[in-house]
């Protein structure tokens, strides 16, 4: 695409007093604006950074940072918007040369691509080992957002160099904006050791960082402002007032802690967030029609259906996403469009946002250990006008091969229900790839029409098509289907992945009595381990005070640690008497008499209160 402005190349030279030992931390960019940039670097001795710069090599202007600084911060101003620059930094005999580009002016017509990732403190050497930066840069992102937790302990000086070394290649050429996470530490006390603040220059400062870049406006909130009771309302009020002034077509809010989150895969609902803890922020996001909310903290990948007023709203909802840099998500909830499933994928992960005039296209990638490459695991498209999905649908019949598969994927990612009849025709295709992609798209759309289109394919010979049919039911299942689905859950010949999704359908949509009976049958059966675990997880939602005896009998001789721990978690909930689920899970079958007696003897008033 041709842009209505000229690109100027400016040569910038940054030099400092020479040090024989060179750089301790190589130069990186912060706070890139249409007319300026901050260059930060560090040597092992104090000094001053100086910048000489000018158009076409005419170094007739100069900018200097503070004197006698260990961490050099040099602010260059008076630059031209959306303009390519080169710069060189010297430290003794060592020199670093890079290029960067200033931010474009705010404009609804200026399309933008950027990337997010999070919780990189846990990536160790994965950036280099996986070729993370090379894969990331093929999308040509203009800036990066990290949802916090760059290091284990932000007030520990020794931990920062590995972080900056890890991302030196992109940090030298692009702005990386981080929403301070809890591992960066507080900005309120021990300020002398607040190395996050010393090493960063967030646009408009902390705790409320924000900037506009072309058709995009970004807000990054520091973690304390979103969870500290004394700060939550002032922060929500600030966000409300600030967003009221924003005119950008796309608005993004990044913070460390999720608003909605399934939590970790495990028996105790660790870090599950059903949207109850940040109501003030949810209300502000809804009020101002924020495009997307990004978070980390929980080391999983999860994307939600668009949510507004605490319910799914495909056209008007906020696109919530949790990218905590790893793969380990729990089973899906009502808000879940996609969670990582852990099968074959691991850290690192990243998400690309392409903010175009007619749509926002979001793709997430994770590392495949088996195939030793990054692969797309999810896609979401928010469209501005119905002409966009109509155009894709109109072209579908004429496309073949990869173009056809991409069009199918787009329609599913757009959640475009009118495409279901055309996609349903492809389920009868002889092309296995087209059938599977069509089943995925119909399932992702996730409406009652999706269920009707896929219901007949629960017995398909293709396991992937069966899986997508089951997934559609997990998203939305008519209650009259519950008894039939309960029978299918017990079918030992069915693929385990399909049974797991059908259990989810019962958990979310079936009468409690039907789900309870089916889950107890599965737990008592010789079903595969992952199917029994899913049944134990679902059982928590459908049992009550009268089930204590049944649950304690089930736990008495259970061999699977997950199932045992989940039953313990459920008994804690039902009886109101709390015992450590992990401890119970590690105990041996036949040695749980003491645990069982405490649950069975829990006071009835305590049990009633728990319910």
Strand ranges for 77-213 from DSSP E = 84-91, 94-101, 112-117, 144-146, 176-178, 208-213
Each residue's pLDDT tens digit, 235-270: 999 999 999 999 999 999 999 999 999 999 999 999
What's residue 2's pLDDT?
37
Each residue's pLDDT tens digit, 150-201: 999 999 999 999 999 999 999 999 999 999 999 999 999 999 999 999 999 9
Burial class (CB in 10 A: 0-12, 13-18, 19+), 141: buried
Q: How far is CA 96 from the centre of its chain?
A: 33
Average pLDDT, the chain: 93
Question: What's the CA gap between 46 and 296, in Å, rounded?
Answer: 35
Could you tell me the pLDDT band of residue 3, with boundaries at 50, 70 and 90? Answer: very low
The answer to whether residue 606 scores a pLDDT higher than 90 is no
What's residue 88's pLDDT?
85
The answer to whether residue 19 scores a pLDDT higher than 50 is no
Domain ranges of the chain: 1-105, 106-383, 385-476
| 1-105 and 385-476, same CATH topology | no
Q: What is the mean pLDDT of residues 140-153?
A: 98
CATH number for domain 385-476, candidates 3.40.190.10, 2.40.30.10, 3.40.50.720, 1.25.10.10? 1.25.10.10
What CATH class is the domain 1-105? mainly beta
Each residue's pLDDT tens digit, 491-512: 999 999 999 999 999 999 999 9
Each residue's pLDDT tens digit, 407-439: 999 999 999 999 999 999 999 999 999 999 999
The answer to whether residue 226 scores a pLDDT higher than 80 is yes
What's residue 603's pLDDT?
84
Q: Whose CA is closest to 505, among 474, 540, 478, 470? A: 474
Each residue's pLDDT tens digit, 336-380: 999 997 778 999 999 999 999 999 999 999 999 999 999 999 999
What's residue 57's pLDDT?
64
What's residue 147's pLDDT?
97
What CATH class is the domain 106-383? alpha beta
Tokens in use for 391?
């155009």
What's residue 53's pLDDT?
74
What's residue 344's pLDDT?
85
What's residue 58's pLDDT?
65
Q: Count the alpha carbons within 13 Å of 138 in the hemisphere toward its beta carbon.
A: 8
Above pLDDT 90, what percent of the chain?
87
Could you tell me the pLDDT band of residue 45, with boundaries at 50, 70 and 90? Answer: confident
């Amino acid at each position: 695409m041709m842009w209505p402005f000229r690109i100027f190349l400016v040569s910038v030279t940054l030099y400092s007093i020479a040090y024989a030992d060179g750089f301790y931390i190589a130069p990186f960019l912060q706070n890139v604006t249409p007319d300026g940039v901050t260059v930060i670097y560090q040597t092992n001795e104090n000094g001053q950074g100086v910048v000489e710069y000018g158009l076409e090599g005419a170094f007739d202007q100069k900018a200097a940072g503070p004197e006698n600084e260990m961490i050099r911060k040099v602010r260059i101003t008076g630059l031209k918007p959306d303009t390519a620059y080169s710069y060189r930094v010297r430290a003794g005999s060592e020199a670093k040369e890079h290029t960067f580009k200033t931010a474009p002016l705010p404009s609804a017509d200026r399309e933008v691509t950027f990337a997010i990732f999070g919780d990189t403190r846990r990536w160790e050497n994965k950036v280099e080992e996986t070729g993370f930066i090379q894969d990331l840069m093929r999308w040509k992102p203009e800036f990066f957002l990290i949802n916090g937790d760059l290091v284990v302990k932000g007030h520990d000086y020794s931990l920062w160099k590995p972080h900056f070394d890890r991302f030196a290649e992109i940090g030298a050429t692009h702005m990386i904006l981080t929403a301070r996470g809890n591992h960066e530490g507080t900005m309120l006390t021990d300020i002398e050791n607040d190395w996050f603040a010393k090493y960063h220059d967030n646009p408009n400062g902390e705790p409320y960082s924000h900037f506009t870049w072309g058709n995009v406006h970004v807000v990054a909130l520091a973690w304390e402002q979103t969870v500290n009771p004394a700060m939550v309302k002032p922060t929500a009020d600030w966000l409300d007032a600030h967003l009221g002034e924003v005119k950008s077509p796309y608005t993004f809010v990044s913070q460390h802690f999720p608003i909605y989150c399934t939590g970790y895969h495990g028996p105790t609902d660790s870090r599950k967030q059903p949207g109850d803890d940040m109501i003030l922020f949810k209300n502000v996001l809804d009020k101002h029609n924020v495009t997307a909310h990004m978070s980390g903290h929980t080391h999983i990948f999860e994307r939600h259906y668009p949510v507004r007023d605490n319910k799914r709203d495909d056209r008007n909802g906020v696109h919530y996403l949790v990218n905590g840099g790893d793969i380990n998500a729990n089973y899906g909830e009502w808000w879940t469009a996609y969670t990582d499933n852990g099968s074959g994928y691991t850290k690192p992960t990243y998400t690309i946002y392409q903010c175009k005039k007619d749509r926002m296209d979001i793709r997430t990638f994770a590392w495949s250990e088996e195939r030793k490459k990054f692969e797309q695991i999810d896609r979401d498209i928010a469209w501005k006008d119905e002409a966009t999905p109509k155009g894709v649908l109109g072209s579908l019949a004429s496309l073949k091969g990869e173009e056809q598969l991409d069009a199918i994927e787009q329609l599913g990612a757009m959640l475009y229900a009118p495409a279901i009849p055309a996609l349903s025709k492809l389920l009868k295709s002889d092309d296995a790839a087209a059938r599977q992609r069509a089943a995925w798209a119909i399932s992702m759309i996730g409406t009652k029409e999706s269920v009707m289109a896929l219901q007949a394919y629960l017995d398909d010979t293709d396991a992937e098509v069966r899986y997508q049919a089951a997934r559609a039911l997990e998203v939305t299942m008519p209650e009259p289907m519950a008894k039939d689905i309960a029978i299918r859950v017990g079918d030992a010949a069915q693929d385990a992945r399909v049974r797991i999704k059908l259990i989810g359908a019962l958990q979310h949509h079936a009468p409690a009595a039907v789900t309870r009976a089916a889950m107890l049958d599965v737990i008592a059966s010789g079903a595969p381990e992952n199917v029994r675990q899913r049944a134990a997880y679902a059982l928590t939602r459908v049992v009550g005070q009268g089930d204590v005896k049944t649950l304690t009998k089930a736990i008495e001789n259970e061999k699977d640690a997950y199932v045992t721990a989940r039953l313990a978690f459920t008994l804690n909930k039902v009886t109101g008497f709390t015992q450590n689920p992990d401890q119970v899970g590690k105990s041996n079958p036949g040695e749980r008499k003491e645990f069982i007696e405490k649950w069975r003897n829990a006071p009835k008033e305590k049990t009633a209160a728990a319910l």
